[in-house]
Amino acid sequence: MRSQPEEPLPPALIKGVLEFNRQEFFRCHETLEELWREQEGQERLFTQGLIQIAVGFHHLLRGNTRGARSLLMRGREKLEPFQPQHRRLNTAGLIEVVDENLKRLEQASVSEPLIPLITTTPAL
């Protein structure tokens, strides 16, 4: 399901990734939601997965572990088919950190959640 490397990244996707990497998860959600509304098919599913993961980390940092777990699981499920990368975004790396946080949530040991960075090839 990976897109062609020559395909330019939408500006909203770039902006959302930068916000995610600055841990501005709610702002990332708002940015990506605008893009999501314009999309169809697999790209819409991909963006929705990123949105859910961003909101999951928003909840996790605010101590809402139940909301975090639910959104991280749903977002992870949506991104699963887009591994190891999609739109030059390292989805496998993102999913790996999501999985570690889900494991910690199950063990009730999330005093310091692992916060991922969404990396790209080549850099944004």
Q: Per residue of the chain (124 residues), what is the pLDDT tens digit?
A: 544 445 788 999 999 999 999 999 999 999 999 999 999 999 999 999 999 999 999 999 998 999 999 999 999 999 999 999 999 999 999 999 999 999 988 887 666 777 888 888 765 5
- At residue 122, the pLDDT reads 60
Length of the chain in terms of residues written: 124
In a domain? residue 56: yes
Torsion sign over Cα 54, 30, 27, 46: positive
Please report, for the domain that includes residue 77, its CATH number: 1.10.3450.10
Torsion sign over Cα 111, 117, 118, 119: negative
- At residue 4, the pLDDT reads 44
The answer to whether residues 92 and 121 touch, using CB atoms and an 8 Å cutoff, is no
In a domain? residue 123: no
- At residue 120, the pLDDT reads 81
Instruction: Tell me the whole-structure pTM to 2 decimals.
Output: 0.89
What are 111's two structure tokens? 């005093």
| 84 cis-preceded (ω within 30 degrees of 0) | yes
Give me the number of domains the chain comprises.
1
The whole domain housing 101 covers: 11-106
Listed residue (69, 25, 26, 73) closest to 49, CA to CA: 73
Q: At a CB cut-off of 8 Å and minimum separation 6, what does 112 contact? A: none
In a domain? residue 15: yes
DSSP 114: -
